[in-house]
Amino acid sequence: MSAGGSVEMLLRRVTPGAHDSFENYEALLQVLAGSRLWMLLWNGRAGSPDAQYGNMEVAGYGYAPCVTSPQELAASGWNRAHEVVGGRDIAAALFPDRWGIWLNPHAPGGGVGIPWLDLRRIAVGLDQLPAGPLRISEPTLEIPQFYALLTQNAHHTPAVRSLRRAWVRPALGVPYLAIGLELYDNSPASVDAARRMMAQSVSAAPEGLPVSSVAMADDFDPVAMWLRRQSRPFFDRDAQVRTGYGAPGPAAGGFGYGYPRPF
């Protein structure tokens, strides 16, 4: 079966927003990474300086419409130019501007949208980033020894400016504790120092508790975005203030942070 045929088969199995559809949606992302897409051009021709993708807005999010095969292109009735692009290439091109893609918008039911956060996952590597939509909230775990050691180690790591925390539940996979690292600079030396600090601290985490770190400087990470907007530091070198090690911060959270409804 061709990659386009695989994409179209999976599209028929995806019900946007349905919990029991996440496995099929994840499989769709995996196939898209290695597939070709026919991007619909509103202006110009493929390779021309004035080439411009079509655009559509759904639930306040921008998408570039595309089709998944020459057969779907013919079925769409599109009478302007198009450009054939690899899935991973178009993902890398669009996600920095927070644009997603909309697959086969002419199809019965209106097709399926892939938000920019999932294009980021395709571009970076699906195994490198958690599957969304993410449910993010303040952690309620009572683990004072871990927070105490982490704070102590951060105090002795001059590159670290502040630490935040969140409890993250991916659409697929196990929940985990995320530690947001704000550094004074993102030089290799500072990043390495922060990585060593985390490695030294994880030993105090309860056995079996997954702990991950997220760079607060990452403008595209949904966990970092949530932490910036919804949490306060439990270690803040500049303020010289520390909250109680295990105490939860302000109550905040919600389903699908950073993702539209539906996909």
Tell me the CATH number at 148: 3.30.300
> What mean pLDDT, rounded, does the chain reach?
88
At residue 232, φ and ψ (nearest 5 deg) are -120, 155
For the chain, state the CA radius of gyration.
21
Q: What is the CATH number of the domain that holds 118?
A: 3.40.1350.90
Structure tokens at 29: 């992302």
- Are 142 and 100 within one domain? no
Res 134 pLDDT > 50 = yes
The C-alpha atoms of residue 247 and residue 224 are separated, in whole angstroms, by 20
State how far the Cα of 16 lies from the Cα of 100, in Å rounded to an integer.
15
Q: Do 45 and 113 reside in the same domain of the chain? A: yes
| Number of folded domains that form the chain | 2
pTM comes to 0.84
Q: Tens of pLDDT along 193-242?
A: 999 999 999 989 999 999 999 999 999 999 999 999 999 999 999 985 44
pLDDT digits (tens, 9 = 90+) for 159-171: 999 999 999 999 8
Mean pLDDT over 86-114 rounds to: 94
Beta-bridged to residue 84, according to DSSP, are 38
Structural domain boundaries, residue 26: 3-124
DSSP state of 206: P
Distance CA 83, CA 40 (A): 7
Phi, psi of 9 (to 5 degrees): -65, -45
Whether 123 and 95 have beta carbons less than 8 Å apart is answered as: yes
The verdict on 34 and 111 lying in the same domain is yes
185: left (phi over 0), alpha (psi -120 to 50) or beta: beta
Asked whether residue 159 falls in the same domain as residue 253, the answer is yes
pLDDT of the residue at 171: 87
Mean predicted confidence (pLDDT) in 111-126: 95
Are residue 143 and residue 236 in the same domain, yes or no? yes
Distance CA 163, CA 31 (A): 37
**DSSP class of 263:** -
- pLDDT-based confidence at 94, cuts 50/70/90? very high
